[in-house]
Amino acid sequence: MNHGHGWLFLLPLLTFVAAAMLLSCGGGSSGSAGATPGPPGPYVQEISICPGAPASPVPSPSPSSSSSATPVPSTTVSPTPCALFTPGAVQQGCFVQFHAVATLSNGFNVDITDENSTLWSSSDKAVLAPDTSTQGLYSAPALGSADVGVSASGVTSPPVSVSVETSGSCL
């Protein structure tokens, strides 16, 4: 048997294996060197802080596969982003409530007030302190002013300035 021409079979096989490994390890060219793919699915593009508590979920009938079955309500909320606003003065000793609306890359808006990844902040916690049990709720223990902010998924809202004035009745 003649083994002198074995390299004719082995060389194309090794070339194929090397090319397959190179492509599977990211060595292939996709047209842009060093490009990183975007995150999967929609992502947060901007966040707005809105006055008041978040809207309650609105029940809406869900599609049913059978016409004789009673539709099961599902919760759907379509919040609207808020323009920058200046809330009225908060009385010392009272609370003020905000909610956050994120605009996603797919054009949808979602309320992110109570999401685990949502971080509420105050520029001066002595004047306006975030409540530890309710997201977006702040107490006003001292006179002065402070900025409220919220961030999620690496995006931060524009600050909202809140002033705390002399004690009065809480609304």
DSSP string, 80-149: -PPPP--PPPEETT-EEEEEEEEEETTS-EEE-TT-TT-EEEES-TTTSEEPSSSTTEEE--SSEEEEEE
9-18, 131-140, 142-151: which has the minimum mean pLDDT? 9-18
Q: Is residue 171 part of a domain?
A: no
Which token pair is 103?
């605009």
Domain count, the chain: 1
Instruction: Categorize the per-residue pLDDT at 29 as very low, low, confident or very high, splitting at 50, 70 and 90.
Output: very low
Using one digit for the tens of pLDDT, what is the confidence trace for 148-163? 999 999 999 999 999 9
Q: Is residue 29 part of a domain?
A: no
Q: Is residue 8 part of a domain?
A: no
Using one digit for the tens of pLDDT, what is the confidence trace for 74-125? 444 568 887 766 666 899 999 999 999 999 999 999 999 999 999 999 999 9
Q: Is residue 49 part of a domain?
A: yes
Q: Is residue 6 part of a domain?
A: no
Domain that holds residue 139: 44-56+74-165
CA distance 164 to 10: 81
Q: Is residue 30 part of a domain?
A: no
- What is the model's pTM? 0.64
What pLDDT is stored for residue 73 in this prediction? 41
